[in-house]
Structure 1
Amino acid sequence: MSFPKVRVFESYAATASGEFDGVILLGDFQSDIPDDFAEFVAQAQQLDARVGQQPLLTPADVSGGRLIIAPTGPLTRDYDDVRNVADAAGAAARIAQQAGIVKPLLVVFGVPNEARYGQAEAVAYWGICQALYEPLEAREHLGEESLETVQEIGIVGTLDETWLEAVEAGKRVARDLAGTEPERMAPPRFAEYCQQTFAHSPVRVTVIDDVQQLQHEYPLLMAVARASLGVERHQPCVVRLEYKAPAAEQTLMFAGKGIVYDTGGADVKTGGHMAGMSRDKGGAAGVAGFVKTVAEMRPETLNVVAELGVVRNSIGADAFVADEIITAHSGVRVRIGNTDAEGRLVLADLLSHLREEASNYPRPQLFSVATLTGHAALAKGPYTALIPNGPARVNELTEKLWEAGEVYGDPTEISWSRREDYDFVRPRTKSDDTLSSNNGPSATTRRGHQFPMAFLAIAAGLDKHGTDSQHPLPFVHVDIAGSGIEGGDWQHGKPTAAPVTCFAGCYLHQ
């Protein structure tokens, strides 16, 4: 797996002459510029008024003779955050690559001494890697070496090289799985990618692909997959990832939505809205990416268990339809409201399995991660939506994730589960126990990204593990529909790898 490796230096003077072929000077150019570069910046500003206002390359007597000036703009306003640093780093990285620089040295300066910028250099590195990432299909066809030419990045600062690369390794896995087209990443090949990724690692990979076993143990998932069964390469699977810590004190349990292509099923997506639906596996991709970072970091006290439901929601004579009543793994009878609300069905069965296992692990916390609703993108814009249940609120899980997201450049916003959400999915007759969805788009439905959390709690049996129960289970639903792809362009945008960095910062970095 190729991406720019990291070397950290305590100062610019500590780098050897000729070791790097360019310097990226990144910061707020209205602040004091480091002495090693101040003269060169001043000279460049005399020739070009854009210097310090936009990213530019200028000749200078620095490593490699090339200085890329990467302004962040102001960083002290109430609404500024560390993504300003990531954006500037990404812009500089593209200039460096176009200029033929293969080993740039990154110097970050002028960052306020505030908590929100506590990981500015790390975020800059990940911003560079995000900008330079090329899709898996392109790398396989044209070769990684020809596309991803930047080999190494030096950073001036006090950083853990292993940590930086472990997070980027996870983000790369998440981008590959989320962004790759639906045939290259059909369920069996998605599973194969995971097996290869975790080979010779402490993560155990189990692939459940026997149709009869899936029908018995994951009935909601298999309803979604029903129309895909006639095409062998589209047949579903559950990919289970397990990392067991030597001295576990806490356990994270993930359900990941891995819809490799979402046609909408019988409620087919029309009007051009099907394009980009190969990215509907972003939740499972993000979970796998986080587990990759776990595999690299090998935490001593943290277990991680994940189940990824990898399914194609196809159109066909055997497709499931609205009005069907399907008994979930939990025993809850689910009335189907819309077949294009398929992801929550997959998640419900996965969560039910995790719920049953939770008592076997110390301090379990459950999460579902999914590109679930257009409403989340509409309501939260480019931010991950976090919706906790009662025990998660008591333990302040969402607040901790929010804080990590702010510091590590993978921001979130918190929503709350309310009684209206449970009322929305209530049964209308005694024929069923819950309704999966209404029959309109989530983006035009009030509380369109909150009420699915209520459905998940009921359909997975987690509503029996609230704060009023004898065995409370903290559960957070994580909707990355707005944060999973750059610019919200689901057909052409680059996957962001959300929420890998947020979870890694929260649980793996002290």
Structure 2
Amino acid sequence: MMELHPQLVLSSDVQDASFDAVVVVTDTTSKLTGPLSAIKEVIDRAAAVDNGIEKQPVLLIAECVPSKRLIYAATGPVNRDQDDVRRFADAAGAGIQRAISAGCKQPLLITVESDLYDRAVLVAVLGTLQKAYLPLELSEAGKPPKLSRLGIWTSNNSFSTKDVDLAAAFEKGRAVARDIGGSDPERMAAPRVEEYLRQIFKDSCVEMDVISDVTTLNKDFPLLGAVNRAANGVDRHKGRLIFLEYKGKGEISKTLFLVGKGITYDTGGADIKAGGIMAGMHRDKCGAAAVAGFMKVLSVLQPENLRVIAGLAMVRNSVGEESYVADEIICSRAGVRIRVGNTDAEGRMVMSDVLCRMKELAKDAVNPQLFTIATLTGHAIRAMGPNYSIIMDNGPARMMRNAQRIQETGHNFGDPFEISTLRRDDFEFHAGKSEYEDVLQANNSPSTMTNRGHQGPGAFLILASGLDKHGVDSQKPLPYSHLDIAGSSGPFPGVPTGSPIVALAAHFLLQ
């Protein structure tokens, strides 16, 4: 499979004629000194007659650069009380979009270092690459890449070859996430996700194992099997449970277990989504897509002493005569009797048994840590807005201050998190309401109309998987965190962001 990412190259020469535009990103032109002084003069002259130059990217004719094309993309004033490093990603992305619309294929990005943010240049490069991404269906149809090469200006080794490699690896991971998460429900139906990943990880250090046999799925992962029932009658929609494993060189000091929600299309099932709200439900696979993207980053950077096992629950929540329905009682892999309350709460169903399997492996693993990643609830967007991942820890993870540390990394790398807390209310909400069941899967109201609508599913995952037996006071505490990325996964219509790949990769590979 051909990779269509622009080639990233370092350059310290503003006069390099191989670039067909220069894109300047800064919070103030006063920082454009030395070899950038002539560029500053051009921008300042334009600013004298255009009050809007600080508000949107502008294309200026500049004799001081070989291409004559200078694009100024200001971050605007950075308010330390309110802003974060994403100002640089936003400005760089807008600037590169202007360059692409002007017909540029090989721009030079100049991002002046920030006094406030150590990673401003890297974040600006990632913002540029987000806009340079070409959707998979378009590339497969033969449309050429938006950019062939991206120059990254550097002075005094402010941005090194190592930084270039890091940005390239992050982008390759995010591109995998966008390919899977953004592609339509037929192009990335579960069997085709398997085909795609076999190509992505062919001859790599990531091993892949797939369970497609419906008898095995129903027996070993019964909650997933229930959601898969209605889709299983259509060959091209049959579910897949995809396991990916990376094992770095050297003695393993850390083991990560990641479970991703991969609902290739969510009709709501028997509790069907009505009133025109089904559009966009092909994006309900962005959790699994992010997990696959994280594994791609590992395959590129190949960190030592780290082992990662990932499970992608790729299932279509179809509706039909075989649909699972509210009131069914299904015994989970962990032996927990689950009463279905709403078939539109399918994400927690497909992940619970996979999480249980990861729990079983984690008992014997070195320094284990477990995660679920999912576009799980509309409540996550209602509570925190459309741009933020939410992380919530169980007791052992909270003792590690895991959420706070990942939040700090995400803040530094422009991939931000909000923290929520799992409380007794959430576990009480999901406790069985009669002697028939141990756990109630969901109520029959949308998450947006349910108190603590994004925290409750985290408690359900703990209960249904048996992780409640591995809390702080148990003989084998297992740190677990649930990530709801319904907001941060990206806009629809629009291109997925690839969040939270950068934050997780930076946290576990760089810290």
Report the Cα distance in structure 2 between the residues aligned to 1:46 and 1:76, rounded to whole angstroms. Answer: 24
- Map of 2:56 onto structure 1: 54
Q: 1:126-205 alignment to 2 at 5 Å?
A: 126-141=126-141, 143-145=142-144, 147-156=145-154, 157-159=158-160, 160-205=163-208
Q: Are 2:499 and 1:495 equivalent residues in the alignment? A: no
Q: After TM superposition, give the deviation of residue 87 of structure 1 in Å.
A: 0.7
Aligned pair partner of 2:5 in 3, 12, 28: 3
Q: After TM superposition, give the deviation of residue 50 of structure 1 in Å.
A: 3.0
- Map of 1:481 onto structure 2: 486
Give the secondary-structure state (helix, strand or coil) at the position aligned to 1:227.
Answer: coil
Report the Cα distance in structure 1 between the residues aligned to 2:304 and 2:357, rounded to whole angstroms. Answer: 25
Q: 1:33-432 alignment to 2 at 5 Å?
A: 33-35=32-34, 36=36, 37-60=39-62, 61-109=64-112, 111=114, 113-114=115-116, 117-141=117-141, 143-145=142-144, 147-156=145-154, 157-159=158-160, 160-247=163-250, 248-381=252-385, 382-432=387-437
Identity %: 46
Report the Cα distance in structure 1 between the residues aligned to 2:380 and 2:218, rounded to whole angstroms. Answer: 31
Give the secondary-structure state (helix, strand or coil) at the position aligned to 1:346.
Answer: helix
Report the Cα distance in structure 2 between the residues aligned to 1:51 and 1:444, rounded to whole angstroms. Answer: 43
* Structure-2 change in CA distance of 1:339 and 1:53 (3 Å): closer
Q: After superposition, what is the alpha-carbon deviation per residue over 1:138-181, rounded to whole angstroms, capped at 9, x for unaligned? A: 2212x242x52343332323232211100000000000100010
Counterpart residue type for residue 436 of structure 1: Q
Report the Cα distance in structure 2 between the residues aligned to 1:104 and 1:294, rounded to whole angstroms. Answer: 28
Q: Which runs of 5+ in 2 are unaligned?
A: none
Q: After TM superposition, give the deviation of residue 30 of structure 1 in Å.
A: 5.9
Q: After TM superposition, give the deviation of residue 110 of structure 1 in Å.
A: 5.9
Q: After TM superposition, give the deviation of residue 414 of structure 1 in Å.
A: 0.3
Report the Cα distance in structure 1 between the residues aligned to 2:31 and 2:159, rounded to whole angstroms. Answer: 20
- Map of 2:26 onto structure 1: 27
Counterpart residue type for residue 55 of structure 1: P
Q: After TM superposition, give the deviation of residue 31 of structure 1 in Å.
A: 4.2
Q: After TM superposition, give the deviation of residue 359 of structure 1 in Å.
A: 2.5
Give the secondary-structure state (helix, strand or coil) at the position aligned to 2:31.
Answer: coil
Report the Cα distance in structure 2 between the residues aligned to 1:353 and 1:496, rounded to whole angstroms. Answer: 29
Report the Cα distance in structure 2 between the residues aligned to 1:444 and 1:31, rounded to whole angstroms. Answer: 50
Query: Is the Cα contact below 8 Å between 2:370 and 2:481 reproduced in 1?
Result: yes
Question: Which aligned segments of 4 or more residues in structure 1 are displaced greater than 6 angstroms?
Answer: none
- Map of 2:464 onto structure 1: 459
Q: Which runs of 5+ in 1 are unaligned?
A: none
Q: After TM superposition, give the deviation of residue 3 of structure 1 in Å.
A: 1.2
Q: After TM superposition, give the deviation of residue 101 of structure 1 in Å.
A: 1.6
* Structure-2 change in CA distance of 1:360 and 1:144 (3 Å): farther
Q: After superposition, what is the alpha-carbon deviation per residue over 1:57-78, rounded to whole angstroms, capped at 9, x for unaligned? A: 1111114221110100112331
Report the Cα distance in structure 2 between the residues aligned to 1:87 and 1:441, rounded to whole angstroms. Answer: 33
Paired positions, count: 498
Query: Is the Cα contact below 8 Å between 1:251 and 1:302 reproduced in 2?
Result: yes
Report the Cα distance in structure 1 between the residues aligned to 2:45 and 2:77, rounded to whole angstroms. Answer: 22
Q: Are 2:450 and 1:445 equivalent residues in the alignment? A: yes
RMSD: 1.4
Q: After TM superposition, give the deviation of residue 200 of structure 1 in Å.
A: 1.4
Report the Cα distance in structure 1 between the residues aligned to 2:368 and 2:444, rounded to whole angstroms. Answer: 34
- Map of 2:477 onto structure 1: 472
Query: Is the Cα contact below 8 Å between 1:384 and 1:411 reproduced in 2?
Result: yes
- TM-score w.r.t. the length of structure 1 is 0.95
* Structure-2 change in CA distance of 1:63 and 1:331 (3 Å): farther
